[in-house]
Each structure stands twice: as C-alpha cells, then as structure tokens.
Amino acid sequence: MAIMETTQQTSKQFFNIVKIIHVALLGGTLIFASIVLYLVSGKPLITEYRRGFDVFYLMVGAFAIWAIFGSQFMYSSQLKRVQPKHTLSNKLMHYQSANIIRYALIEGSALFSIVAALLTLTLWFFIITLLLSVMLAYHYPSVEKAIRDLHLNIEEQHIIKNPNAVISDSSTSQNERY
C-alpha cells in the first residue's frame, strides 16, 4: 500500500537553502585559500611578472574574466527563461539554479587561481582569488534580489516576503512495508 506524503517549503526555508549553498561555496574557497597561504607562509611570494608562468597568467586571467562576465551572462540567461505565467515555485527554482551556476563559475575560477598561486608562489593569483571571493560574497542571495531579478508581481512579492508562506508543495509516495 502506498502512502502519499506531502512536503511543504516555506519562503524562509527556501532562502535558507540558497544561503547555505552560497556560504558553503564561499567558505570552502576561503578555507582552501587560507590553507594554501599557510603552506606558503615561509616562502617569498613573487610580486612581479616572471617568464615561464605565461600559461598560468593567461589561464587564471581568462577564468577570472569568464567568472566575472560569464557568470552574469549565465545567470541572466537562466532567469530569461522565467515566464510571468510560471508559478512562484517554478520561478524560485529557476532563481536557485541560476544562483548555483553563478556561484560555481566564480568559485571554480577562484579555486583555479588558488592552485596557480600554490604552484607558482605568485602574489597576483592570491589577489585575483581575493577579488573573486569578494565578488562571490557580493552575490549573497536575498528576498529583495529575488524580487528584483525575477520581476515578481505584487502578490508574489507579498508571498515571499512572508517567511512562513508556503511557496511549494511536493507529494511523494512511500510504500508501506509490514
């Protein structure tokens, strides 16, 4: 016999999930950067351009530029798929997906920059990591940003501003076993 179980998600729960994902990715990047800084702390860091590391300069620079512009492009592209006729739940799932993609692109570039800094002992790569981390921190999710980026109507705005408002219901069936 199958039992239907309904799970409800409130606005507060939804935004907490997105915030946890954001903080985990940012925190992981900062922890990794701290570990690498500790590992290279006794060694002199290179502050000027050195031949032989051209590939790292090009790749880190390209990834950082992609993180800055590509993440915004991907975020906007994901949100353009949202139609006014979509349900609020569907709109918020697009918002969550778009943010995760944005965060992943920025974090991936920052992690690559940290690895390049570890391998080359170049201060420039630590600075790029810091800038990407600041950019990632800037994209902290909020109700206000969701309202603005999703172009929510007044009714939807009232719903997500209420932390206890149910924004999605999902039903799952479980088989009862005796």
The per-residue pLDDT for 116 is 94
Q: How many domains is the chain built from?
A: 1
The per-residue pLDDT for 169 is 77
pLDDT tens track for 139-163: 999 999 999 999 999 999 999 999 9
pLDDT tens track for 76-115: 999 999 999 999 999 999 999 999 999 999 999 999 999 9
**Domain enclosing residue 151, as ranges:** 2-175
4 sits in which H/E element = strand 2-10
Beta carbons of 53 and 122 less than 8 angstroms apart: yes
User: Which of 30, 7, 13 shows the shortest CA–CA distance to 135?
Assistant: 30
pTM listed for this prediction: 0.87
Q: How confident is the model at residue 164 (pLDDT cuts 50, 70, 90)?
A: very high
pLDDT tens track for 35-81: 999 999 888 877 776 676 688 889 999 999 999 999 999 999 999 99
> Quick check: 178 pLDDT over 50?
no
Q: And the tokens for 104?
A: 């992943």
Beta carbons of 125 and 60 less than 8 angstroms apart: yes
Beta carbons of 48 and 148 less than 8 angstroms apart: no
